[in-house]
C-alpha cells in the first residue's frame, strides 16, 4: 500500500529538522514532507495575520506533494495548517493540530485591540525571544545552556541534542541558531486574532492533540477548538512532540486513522 504524505509544519523557533525522532516513529506509515524554516524566504515575509506564511505552506504542498496530504502542525505550524486547509481544502485529506488551540471571539477581539495598541509583546513570548542568546562555542555547550531552562527541562535527551545539532549552523568556529530570533519575534507579534472565523470554512476531517499540562491550552481553552476538531489529550506540555516523541507520533497515527475512517 502506498503511504500517505504527512506534511508537517513546525513550531515557531524550531526548524522541522529538530523533530527527527518524532518523524522517525511515523516514517513506517507516512512519507514526511516539511519546510525546514517557515518565514525565512523573502518571497513570503512575516506580516500581520501571517497571510504570506499561509501562502508559503500552500505553495509548497501544491508544488512538492501533488496529492492531498495529511496536514500536521505543531503550535505555529498547526495554525498555518488550519488556515491553509480552510483556504485550499483540496490539498488535504485531513489535518491534525498539535497544541494549537483556537482562540475564541472575545479573547481574539481583545488580543486584536492589544496588537493595535502595540502591546502584543506583553502577552506573547515575543518579549523573551528578542533577547534570546543566538550562538555558542559548541553543540555540547548549547545543550547544557538549554537543559537549565524551564521549557526544555522535560525534553527527551535525543530531542534536545537534535535541537542543538540540527537547529544550528556552524559559523566562524561557533554555532548559531538556524531559526533567526528576529523572525521568531515578528511571528509572535503578528499572531492572527481572528482565527476562529476560519473554523466556519473548514470542510474536511480535523483533529487536535493537546498536552495535558500545556500552558497554551490552559490559557486559550478548548471550547472553540471542540467546535471544529476531534480533540485528544496526551501527557506533556506545549512542546510534547519533543518531550514524548514516541507517544506523540503514536497519537498522531491513531488520530489520522480515526479521521480517515470517518
Output the pLDDT for position 1. Answer: 63
The model carries a pTM of 0.95
Give the per-residue pLDDT at 217. Answer: 95
131: three-class secondary structure by DSSP: coil
CA-to-CA dists, residue 242 to 33, 50, 104, 178, angstroms: 18, 25, 27, 18
Q: Which three cell numbers stand for residue 85?
A: 486547509
In sequence order, what are the beta bridge partners of 44? none
Average of pLDDT values for 91-106? 93
- pLDDT value at residue 199: 79
Three-state SS for 170? strand
- Mean pLDDT, residues 94-111 taken together: 88
User: Could you tell me the pLDDT band of residue 74, with boundaries at 50, 70 and 90?
Assistant: very high
CA distance 258 to 262: 6
Domains of the chain: residue spans and CATH: 4-261 (3.40.50.1820)
Q: Cell numbers of 91, please?
A: 490539498
- 156: confidence class by pLDDT, cuts 50, 70, 90: very high
What Å distances lie between residue 229 and 200, 209, 225, CA to CA? Answer: 12, 10, 6
Amino acid at each position: 500500500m502506498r503511504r500517505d504524505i504527512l506534511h508537517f509544519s513546525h513550531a515557531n523557533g524550531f526548524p522541522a529538522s529538530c523533530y527527527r525522532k518524532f518523524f522517525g516513529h511515523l516514517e513506517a506509515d507516512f512519507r514526511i514532507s516539511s519546510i525546514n524554516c517557515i518565514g525565512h524566504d523573502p518571497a513570503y515575509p512575516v506580516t500581520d495575520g501571517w497571510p504570506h506564511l499561509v501562502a508559503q505552506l500552500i505553495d509548497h504542498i501544491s508544488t512538492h506533494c501533488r496529492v492531498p496530504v495529511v496536514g500536521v502542525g505543531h503550535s505555529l505550524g498547526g495554525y498555518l495548517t488550519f488556515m491553509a486547509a480552510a483556504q485550499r481544502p483540496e490539498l488535504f485529506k485531513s489535518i491534525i493540530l498539535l497544541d494549537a488551540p483556537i482562540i475564541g471571539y472575545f479573547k481574539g477581539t481583545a488580543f486584536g485591540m492589544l496588537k493595535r495598541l502595540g502591546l502584543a509583546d506583553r502577552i506573547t513570548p515575543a518579549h523573551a525571544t528578542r533577547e534570546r542568546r543566538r550562538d555558542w562555542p559548541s553543540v555540547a555547550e548549547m545543550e547544557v545552556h538549554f537543559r537549565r531552562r524551564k521549557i526544555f527541562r522535560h525534553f527527551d535527551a535525543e530531542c534536545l541534542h537534535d535541537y542543538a545539532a540540527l537547529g544550528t549552523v556552524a559559523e566562524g568556529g561557533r554555532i548559531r541558531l538556524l531559526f533567526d530570533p528576529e523572525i521568531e519575534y515578528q511571528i509572535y507579534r503578528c499572531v492572527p486574532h481572528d482565527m476562529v472565523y476560519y473554523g466556519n470554512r473548514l470542510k474536511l476531517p480535523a483533529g487536535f492533540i493537546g498536552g495535558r499540562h500545556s500552558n497554551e491550552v490552559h490559557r486559550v481553552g478548548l471550547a472553540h477548538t471542540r467546535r471544529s476538531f476531534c480533540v485528544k489529550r496526551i501527557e506533556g506540555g506545549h512542546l510534547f512532540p519533543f518531550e514524548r516523541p514516541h507517544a506523540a507520533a503514536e497519537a498522531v497515527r491513531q488520530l489520522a486513522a480515526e479521521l480517515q475512517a470517518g
